[in-house]
Amino acid sequence: MEKSRHSIRFIEEKCIGCVTCLRACPTKAIRVVNDKARFDEERCIDCGECFRLCPHNAIVSETTSYADLKKFECTIALPSPVLYSQFGYDVLPNQILLALKKIGFDYVFDEAWDCELTTDALQVYLDNCKGPFPQISITCPVVVRLITMLYPSLVKHLVKLEIPRESAAKKFRQKAASSRGIPPEKIGVIHITPCPAKMISINHPVGLERSNLDGAIAISDIYGPLLGALKDLEEDVILQLSSGIGIAWAISGGEIMGIRQENCLAVSGVQDVIKTLNDVEAGRLNDIVFLECLICPDGCIGGSLTVQNRHQARRKVRRLIKMFGEHTRVSHEMVIRLFREGYFNLQKEILPNPLPPLDPEPAKAIQKIRQRDEILKTLPGKNCSACGAPDCRTLAEDIVMGKASIEDCVFLTLRKLSGNS
Amino acid sequence: MAANDRLVQEYIVKGWDFSRAGEASCEIKNTLKQIGISAEVIRRVAIAAYEAEMNVVMYARQGIMRCEMDPQQIIITVEDEGPGIADIELAMQEGYSTATPEMREMGFGAGMGLPNIKRNADLLDISSTVGRGTKVTMIFRLS
């Protein structure tokens, strides 16, 4: 079976056809047809806004289940630094890593350290980058999808550096395979994730032929077992290698925290990201060297698969940054060597994948826009969504594209009925 | 037929309305994406249209931004009721700006507006009457 292009799924039996999700969708990918919400695979960027807001739990995320781990001979956990922010104020990263080990992972590695490594690599990359500026982070798979689809002219701004979870997965799979003497494919490398979108970057990676990760388990799915395991930790080895620089990747502004250049910018939240990308496209942010864009509010701690209040989580991250310091523990010489070895190279060029125009022929597309604008004039402009499209303009467009009819408008139909009676 | 594959959209741009500044050029850009104009042309239009729109926001009372497109070309005209430009040649020079300290504080007034439009449009025409207003016409060829 072909792997889903998306990390969310709508459950028809639970959907009552309310319009909460379609109004929240930033790319207008959702319609309600016959009282059921459905989404356009082409337009969905996996931001998770619908998933967050559905009042009926009719939208589920497709992450790896705990039971899936059984199919591997050996498992490696790579937790997002966000995991460190999800427990009580005094629970430390090392305890959390030990707890992951206790619940059954054969190896647990501190992904925050690889983030730290990437911070230093990013510094080297930016020092040598000739533009175009701003260079835009590729850490958030939703932002990458948003750019390739809706901002194709900005694709060349994307940073050409492998993301930490991928480079880490590759490295640790090889290490584990050689130390255990088993084939690399028998090892399951699992990311512990704050958001469902990581699944799309695993199933449909960009910049890579194939993801180095075998799956992603939701923080919310693994939280209970971890809480239990934290109670009586027996083993006491040091698994945490990162300083505050790596841990900071959990929050908005984390990627740029360890960067020397002052003209870096961090943006989070879907609407702010869209606004900022519009500014980049208008040439408004040319003086910015590096732009960190994360789709979730406040960064990855705002992911929809987290359990902790994100403001509380941010407080915890700040505490950890203070505690473990803002001095990187990564050796710069090692980063330079890894750079030479191609450790940070993307395997594949990231290409634009723009949404198709209203018509392949520009002349016809123009006609369709004219028709849409004519229809729009006849609609009430209340943007009530009762027709099943998010707003009047989208309904007008759907009518032109043959996907809806003018009778779908509740107001016009009511007017017609009362006129006839 | 000829009139049918021509699209005209008009936007009112208010002077000194910084909170909505850039919306008209963003709308134009989104329309171009729906028509399937190449990313390279869209980038040029986005930059030039934004600069022209900002000129209205910064200097004029009000302006009308008009975008006419057909499969051959995109014509954007921005006509404002404003102070006008006394010396257009001077205004075209990089770095020349009449921005107030306030505008500069907001990050504008680098004197790159008109030069930036010129660099990105295939054709630029500016006519202006001091005390009345300015009309900026830019053309982007598609074929």
pLDDT per residue over A61-102, tens digit each? 989 988 889 999 999 999 999 999 999 989 999 999 999 999
A25 belongs to a structural domain: yes
Whether A108 and A242 map to the same domain: the answer is yes
Which amino acid is residue A60, in one-letter code?
A: V
Helix axes A270-281, B23-35, angle to 10 degrees: 80
A267 & A120 share domain: yes
pLDDT of residue A37 exceeding 60, the answer is: yes
The structure tokens listed for A418 are 């009362």
Comparing A203 with A398, which gets the higher pLDDT?
A398
At residue A250, the pLDDT reads 98
Q: Which amino acid is at A336?
A: I
Same domain, A332 and A238: yes
Residue B15 pLDDT > 80: yes
In a domain, A158, yes or no: yes
B35 vs A357: CB contact, 8 Å cut-off? yes
3-state secondary structure of A37: strand
| A367 contact B CB<8A | yes
Domain boundary among A11, A28, A62: A62
What is the domain range of residue A398?
360-421
The residue in chain A having the minimum alpha-carbon distance to the alpha carbon of residue B27 is A278
**Residue A362 at interface with chain B, using a CB cutoff of 8 Å:** yes
Same domain, A239 and A92: yes
Do both A41 and A86 map to the same domain?
no
pLDDT higher than threshold 60 for residue A403: yes
Percent of chain B with pLDDT over 90: 69
Under an 8 A CB cutoff, do A282 and B31 touch? no
Q: Is residue A26 part of a domain?
A: yes
- CB atoms near residue A38 (< 10 Å): 16
Q: Does residue A354 belong to any structural domain of this protein?
A: no
Is 80 exceeded by the pLDDT of residue A49? yes
| Residue A351, in any domain of the structure | no
Claim to verify: residue A324 and residue A370 sit in the same structural domain: no
Residue A363 to residue B29, Cβ atoms within 8 A: no
User: pLDDT tens-digit profile of A299-320?
Assistant: 999 999 999 999 999 999 999 9
Residues A209 and A92 in one domain: yes
**Mean pLDDT calculated for residue range B114-134:** 94
- A260 pLDDT above the threshold of 80: yes
* pLDDT recorded at residue A2: 57
Residue A332, domain member (yes or no): yes
Residues of A in contact with B31 (CB under 8 A): 369
Confidence of residue B42 (pLDDT cuts 50, 70, 90): very high
Residues A125 and A41 reside in one and the same domain:
no
Does the pLDDT value for residue A115 go beyond 90?
Answer: yes
- The answer to whether residue A164 sits within a structural domain is yes
Q: If pLDDT is split at 50, 70 and 90, which confidence band does B1 have?
A: very low
Task: State the ipTM, two decimals.
Answer: 0.89
A236 confidence band (pLDDT: 50, 70, 90): confident
Q: Is residue A5 assigned to a domain? A: yes
Domain stops at, among A62, A77, A96: A62
Q: Is the pLDDT of residue B31 over 90?
A: yes
Question: Looking at CA atoms only, how far is residue B108 from chain A in angstroms?
Answer: 10
Domains in chain B, ordered, with CATH? 7-141 (3.30.565.10)
Residues of B in contact with A374 (CB under 8 A): none
- A396 with A323, same domain: the answer is no
Residues sharing a CB contact under 8 Å with residue B58, sequence separation 6 or more, in sequence order: B15, B16, B99, B103, B108, B109
What is the distance in angstroms between the Cα of A156 and the nearest Cα belonging to chain B?
Answer: 11
Nearest-Cα residue of chain A relative to residue B8: A370
Q: Does A352 touch chain B (CB under 8 A)?
A: yes
Domain ends where: A62, A94, A109?
A: A62
Convert B114-138 to b/e letters by CB count within 10 Å (16 or more is b).
bbbbbebbeebebebeeeebbbbbb
The CATH number of whichever domain residue A387 belongs to comes to 1.10.15.40
In the prediction, which pLDDT does A201 show?
A: 87
Across residues A213-220, what is the average pLDDT?
95
pLDDT at A36 over 90: yes
Contact A369 B35 (CB under 8 A): yes
**With an 8 Å Cβ cutoff, is B22 touching chain A?**
yes
Asked if A296 and A190 sit in the same domain, the reply is yes
What average pLDDT does the segment B60-80 reach? 95
Smallest CA-to-CA distance from B64 within B141, B121, B136, B122 is with B136
A49 and A125 housed in the same domain: no
Of B35, B43, B51, the CB nearest to A153: B43
Number of domains into which chain A is organized: 3
In this structure, the answer to whether residues A407 and A321 fall within a common structural domain is: no
Confidence at A347, pLDDT banded by 50, 70, 90 = confident
Mean of all residue pLDDT scores within chain A = 94
Q: What is the rounded average pLDDT of the residues A162-167?
A: 95
Q: Which two tokens stand for residue A124?
A: 């080297």
Is-contact A327 A243, C-beta < 8 A?
yes
On whether any CB of chain B is under 8 Å from the CB of A342, the answer is: no
Task: Report which secondary-structure segment, H or E, holds A332.
Answer: helix A332-341
Does the CB of B39 have a partner CB in chain A at under 8 Å? yes
Name the residue among A354, A355, A366 with its Cβ closest to that of B70: A366
Q: Is A358 on the interface with B (CB under 8 A)?
A: yes
Interface residue A132 vs chain B (CB under 8 A): no
